[in-house]
Structure 1
Amino acid sequence: MASYTRILVAVALGDDHQARQLLEKALSLTSARNIHVVHVEEHPVTGLGDLTGRNHAMNEAQIRQRVFPALRELSDAYGLNSEHLHIVFGDPAPEIHALAQKLPSDLVVIGSHGSRGLKRLFGTTADDIVHSARMDTLMVYTDG
């Protein structure tokens, strides 16, 4: 079995049960000091034309202020380093890959509820991450 020195766990806040399952799986593979957690948010959208850049920064800061406490609570519950919490903005698959390479990570842990119908036909974020990964990826089926 591979020994992982840096694991990136991608969580969707708002689904605490899934996030906890993913962190528990990561902790079964390495110690808490080797785990980074990422949550991806969509870019805020404004209709302000040339002022969009300035308002994006302000909106992103407000989103970070809203999201960070939930990430911090999750990390505290599992003894993770709060400096290993990441909030990024954009399309989840490419943002997760970019952060995994930047850290660099040797494993990305993601969750999947499974998919059916059109969602399966068109794919999911988890599928996008797995199929374009340049490092080991663990897709954990979660029951939440």
Structure 2
Amino acid sequence: MPNYRLILTAIDLSEEADGVLERAAGMAAQHGAELHLLHVVEPLSLAYGGDIPMDFSEVQLQLQKQAETALAKYAERLTIPPAQCHLLSGRPDAQIHELSKSLGANLIIVGSHGRKGLALLLGSTANGVLHGADCDVLAVRVGQHKKP
């Protein structure tokens, strides 16, 4: 197994992020790697495609502030310095690829819901990251109940 030196972990700030972060922290400790956290705030204009004639700037600003606060809490809990926390705006898969390249990441860790069939064809962030990454990608299965 390669020795990962820099791990980029992209999280969505949901309750499922804990499982992804747990795996990422374990991998970083195992490899003595530097761990970076990333959250990407999608612009509301991307989600709605400009179909709704409204100014979303105030809502977008609130989303950004909430994400900053949440990301800082995750970083504090894992003792990750602020310089290794990244909050970007745009399409998540594209931003993950861009930051991964600029940091020289050896591994990207993302959560995956394991969609199948039509949901997979319609795309997911994990799938987009996997197919455009220049390094290894670990998709951590989230959102499924473990069998006893």
1:59 CA drift (Å):
7.0
Question: Percent same amino acid at aligned positions?
Answer: 29
**For 1:60 and 1:107, how far apart are their aligned partners in 2?**
30
Structure richer in helix, relative to its length: 1
| Inter-CA distance 79–125: structure 2 relative to 1 (3 Å threshold) | same
* CA RMSD of superposed structures (Å): 2.4
**Structure 2 residues without counterparts, runs of 5 or longer:** none
Q: Which residue of 2 aligns with 1:21?
A: 19
1:61 CA drift (Å):
5.3
- TM-score relative to the length of structure 2: 0.79
1:116-139 C-alpha deviation (Å, 9 max, x unpaired): 342122232211110111111111
Q: Which residue of 2 aligns with 1:103?
A: 103
In the comparison of the two structures, how many residue pairs are matched?
136
Decide whether the 8 Å contact of 2:5 with 2:33 is kept in 1. no
| Inter-CA distance 65–82: structure 2 relative to 1 (3 Å threshold) | same
Secondary structure of 1:143's aligned partner: coil
- How does 1:100-139 map onto structure 2 within 5 Å? 100-139=100-139
- TM-score relative to the length of structure 1: 0.81
**For 1:29 and 1:118, how far apart are their aligned partners in 2?**
32
Decide whether the 8 Å contact of 2:4 with 2:33 is kept in 1. no
